[in-house]
Structure 1
Amino acid sequence: MIKNAVKKLFGGVELSWLKLIIMAVIAGALTAVFAIVPVLEHTSFHAMAVTFEVWIFFGIFIIMNSRSNLDSALKCFVFFLISQPLVYLIQVPFSPLGWELFGYYPYWFIWTLLCLPMGYIGYWMKKDKWWGYLILLPMILLTGTSYMEYFSEFQFSMPKYILIALFCACMMIFYPVLIFSGKKIRTVGAVVGGVCVVGLTVLCLVKPPVYSACIMSEEEGGFDENYSVYLADDKYGSVEIAYTEDIDEYMIQADFRRAGDTVMVLESPDGDKREYDVHIERDTYTVSER
C-alpha cells in the first residue's frame, strides 16, 4: 500500500494549475519559516532554504504529473516563479538584511528560467526509455553533491543533518525505481545510485571535515612556545601552539573535528594550568576562560 502510494506521486496525481499554485505558496512559506526560526538553523530543515535537493524532488514531481512537454515546462517555471520570491519576501521583516536579502534571489531566478527547458526535456522521462535515465542523471548527480555536503555536516555536527542526508541518499537510489516501469532501467538506476551513495560515503569517511582556526594569540593568552595546550576530549579535534610568521607571533591553532563543548587546557612549563571553555560550531567558535 505504501509502495503504491509513493509510486502514485510520480505519475498518478491530477496536478491542476490551482493545486500547483497552492503547492508553490505552501513550499515557499514553509521554506521561509525554516530559514527564520533560530532553532532550525544548522538543521536538515534549514537546508531547504539553501540547496537544491528538495526542490529537485518538487520539480520531478511536477514533471511526472504533467500532461505534455509544454505543460511540464510551464508548471515547473510557474512553481519556482511563485515559491522562490516568496521565500525571500516572508523573511524580509525578520532579517537584518531587510530588502537586501533579495540580493540572493538572482541565483535562484536563473534556475527558475532553466526550469522551462528542464521541464520540457524532463517530460520525456515518462516515455520509459533507457535515455530517460540519462535525462534524470544530472538531477541525481546534483542530489549527490548535496548528499556529500550534508553527510559531511552530519559527521561534524551529529545528529544534525541526518534527515537531509538520508533523504538525498534515498532519492539517489529510488528516483529511477519510482519514475520508470521497465525492470532493467529501474534495476540499473538503483544500482548506479547505490554505488554513488556508497562511494560518496566512503569518501566522506576517509576525509572527514575539519574546521581549522587560530583561536588565541600569545598576547591574549600570555603564553609562548614553551607552553603546552590540549583539549580535554580529543574527539573534538586537536590544538597546538604554532608560530605565525605573517604576524610574528605564536598562536593556538585548532583543528576541530566535531561540534560541541569541550575544555582547552593551557599549561605553563611550571605546571600551572588555565582552563578555557570552548564551544564549537561548523564554521565558528567561542573561547572563554573559566
Structure 2
Amino acid sequence: MKKLFGGINMTYPKVIIFAIIAAVYTAVMAIIPITRDTSFRDISITFEVWILFGIIIIMNSKSPVDSAIKCFLFFLISQPLIYLIQVPFSSQGWHIFVYYKYWFIWTLLTIPMGFIGHYMKKDKMWGLAILAPILALLASHYGSFLRETTSFFPYHLISTIFCVVTLIIYPLVIFKDKKIRTIGLVISIVMILAATGYMLLKGSVSYKTSLMANGYEIDETGEIINFDDTYKVYLKDKSFGELSIGYEDGLQDYIINADFRKVGKTEFTIEAPDGTKKVFTINIKRDTYSFKKKE
C-alpha cells in the first residue's frame, strides 16, 4: 500500500502508459453490453475510480507543479481516448464526443486540484482540509450506489464497497501523523453514516415504465391483448413492484404502467371483468425488461 501511495517513480512515460491503459479498460467496460448498469461500467460515468488514479499520481509526484502537470496530462490523454475507442461501436458515432465536454471541464480542473492536492503530502492538518471535499464527493457516490444496490441488488455493489474502502483508506495512507489519520478516519466514518442515513430517508429507487398498450400483439402467436380500466393487472410477487392500467392521452388508449422495485423473474396477470386471466412471465432488469405469455 505504501508503494502505491508514494513509492512509485511516476515518470511522464509511466503517466502516459497509465492513462492509455485506464482509457482502454474504461472504453471496453462502456462498450460490452453485459456491463450495463453494473459496477464495471461505473468507471465511465462517475468519479470514484478516477479519484483513486488522481491521488496515486499526486502522492507519487515530486512537487505541486509536477503533480498538476501529471494529473492534467493523465486526464487529457485518457478521457478523449475513451470516447475515441467507442466511436466505431456506438450508434452515436462521433456524436458520442458530446459527453466529453463534461469531462474536459474536469480535466482543466485537475491542474489546480493536482497542485493543491500535492500539499496533502506535507502531513499537516490543513492537508486533511484539502482531502475533505474529495471524501465528501466519494460519500455522495457511496450514497447513490448504496441506494441502487439496496433497491436492485446486486447492482453497483462493488462500487458501493469500493467507495467505503477508499473513504477509510485515504486518510490512513496519505497521512503519517497519528492524530490527523484518526481525525480523517472519523470524518470518513461520519460521512459514510450520513450518506447511509440520507439514503434510508430517500427510500428505494424504482424503475417506472410502460409494459404494453391496449391492442398489444404477441409476436409468437399474433394474439391481440385488449384491456381497459375495467381490467385488473398485478404481479404475482408484489415485492417486485406495482402494475396499473391508465389512460394515455398521447396514445388515446389504455396502457399498463409499471413501477418496479427490484430485479428478477416473476409473473404478471391481466384479469378481465369476467375473471378470464392472461398470465405472462417477466424478467425485470435495472432499466429494461422482457416478457412473454405463459402457456
Do both share a fold (TM > 0.5)? yes
Aligned to 1:269, the other structure's residue is in SS state coil
Q: Determine the structure 2 residue equivalent to 1:263.
A: 267
Q: Determine the structure 1 residue equivalent to 2:186.
A: 191
Does residue 217 of the first structure (1) align with residue 213 of the second (2)?
yes
Aligned to 2:197, the other structure's residue is in SS state helix
Q: Determine the structure 2 residue equivalent to 1:241.
A: 245
Question: Using the alignment, how far apart are the partners of 1:251 and 1:26 within structure 2?
Answer: 47
Question: Using the alignment, how far apart are the partners of 2:93 and 2:212 within structure 1?
Answer: 34
Question: Using the alignment, how far apart are the partners of 2:26 and 2:112 within structure 1?
Answer: 25
Question: How many pairs align?
Answer: 285
Q: Determine the structure 2 residue equivalent to 1:276.
A: 280
Does residue 9 of the first structure (1) align with residue 4 of the second (2)?
yes
Residues 216 and 251 of structure 1 are in contact (CA less than 8 Å); yes or no, is this contact kept in structure 2? yes
Does residue 29 of the first structure (1) align with residue 33 of the second (2)?
no
Q: Determine the structure 2 residue equivalent to 1:3.
A: none
How far apart are residue 9 of structure 1 and its match?
Answer: 1.6
Question: Using the alignment, how far apart are the partners of 2:266 and 2:198 within structure 1?
Answer: 27
Q: State percent identity of aligned pairs.
A: 48
How far apart are residue 282 of structure 1 and its match?
Answer: 2.3
- Deviation string 1:49-104 (CA, Å, 9 cap, x unpaired) is 11111001110111111110100000000011111111111111222222222221
Aligned to 1:67, the other structure's residue is in SS state coil
From 46, 49, 60, the equivalent of 1:51 is: 46
Deviates further, 134-143 or 197-206: 197-206
Question: Using the alignment, how far apart are the partners of 1:146 and 1:126 within structure 2?
Answer: 25
Residues 243 and 258 of structure 2 are in contact (CA less than 8 Å); yes or no, is this contact kept in structure 1? yes
Question: Using the alignment, how far apart are the partners of 1:95 and 1:214 within structure 2?
Answer: 26
Question: Using the alignment, how far apart are the partners of 2:188 and 2:143 within structure 1?
Answer: 13
Q: Determine the structure 2 residue equivalent to 1:65.
A: 60
Residues 212 and 254 of structure 1 are in contact (CA less than 8 Å); yes or no, is this contact kept in structure 2? yes
Residues 128 and 184 of structure 2 are in contact (CA less than 8 Å); yes or no, is this contact kept in structure 1? yes
Residues 173 and 192 of structure 1 are in contact (CA less than 8 Å); yes or no, is this contact kept in structure 2? no
Higher-helix-fraction structure: 1
Question: Using the alignment, how far apart are the partners of 1:188 and 1:29 within structure 2?
Answer: 37
Q: Determine the structure 2 residue equivalent to 1:144.
A: 139
How far apart are residue 243 of structure 1 and its match?
Answer: 4.8
Aligned to 1:7, the other structure's residue is in SS state coil
Question: Using the alignment, how far apart are the partners of 1:251 and 1:96 within structure 2?
Answer: 29
Question: Using the alignment, how far apart are the partners of 2:58 and 2:237 within structure 1?
Answer: 50
Stretches of structure 1 lacking an aligned partner (at least 5 in a row) = 1-5
Q: Determine the structure 2 residue equivalent to 1:204.
A: 199
How far apart are residue 219 of structure 1 and its match?
Answer: 4.5
Residues 244 and 250 of structure 1 are in contact (CA less than 8 Å); yes or no, is this contact kept in structure 2? yes
Q: Determine the structure 2 residue equivalent to 1:159.
A: 154
How far apart are residue 157 of structure 1 and its match?
Answer: 3.0
How far apart are residue 224 of structure 1 and its match?
Answer: 2.8
Residues 70 and 120 of structure 1 are in contact (CA less than 8 Å); yes or no, is this contact kept in structure 2? yes
Stretches of structure 2 lacking an aligned partner (at least 5 in a row) = 217-224
